[in-house]
Amino acid sequence: MTARFLALGDSYTIGEGVEANECWPMQLAALLRAEGIDIAEPEIIAATGWTSADLAQAIDTQAPVGPFDLVSVLVGVNNQYSGDSVDEFSSDFQVVLEQAISLAGDNPFRVIALSIPDWGVTPHAEGRDAAAIAAGIDVFNRAALMMVMQTGPHWVDVTTASREAGGEASMLAGDGLHPSGEAYSIWAQSALRPALAALRKV
């Protein structure tokens, strides 16, 4: 039976500024097929600018019908960018995680959560305090990781990769902020092993 994949998030999930097949969920699906997994194109609930609260509301509104064999979550950068408190983010992120687990048939092992990348290394952040941006993102990621550890999904770190090369021209879309298809390929590779584990139950 063909596996179903639901990707939840914001601009980093829809792939703002790149072709549809270059976003990381599409690239992950292609990698899974190369590993012999029969998986459909990902269903995506995401939009540029969404916070964790926006995503939670959109999931309720769009009401996707589960269960899905794989559910991904990547959200929070817009909370940090907007100056939301970590408590606000945490409260809504917990709701999103609960929704994701429910949509995965109440099986947290079928959920993968990706960390928030560091946009402070990009040209878009020129003139801003990159260290403060990094520190803020670290706070949000620690809060997200704590909830992931408490509830059971897989955790995928893409923050490190974003800091190592995320400011290079080849790693950026034309807007100088969002990742390129090449950068998303690194994220997809990072998510491959936990996705395989989720789908194979190993």
Strands laid side by side in the 70-74 sheet = 43-46, 5-9, 70-74, 111-114, 154-156
Residues 6 or more apart whose CB falls under 8 angstroms from that of 84 comprise 51
* Whether the predicted model's global pTM rises above the 0.85 cut: yes
pLDDT band at residue 167 under the 50/70/90 scheme? confident
Q: Give the separation between CA 4 and CA 29, rounded to whole angstroms.
A: 10
Structural domains of the chain in order of their starting residue, each with its CATH number: 5-200 (3.40.50.1110)
pLDDT, tens digit (0-9, with 9 covering 90-100), for 47-59: 999 999 999 999 9
Span 105-124, mean pLDDT?
A: 96
**pLDDT at 202 > cutoff 70:** no
pLDDT number for residue 165: 86
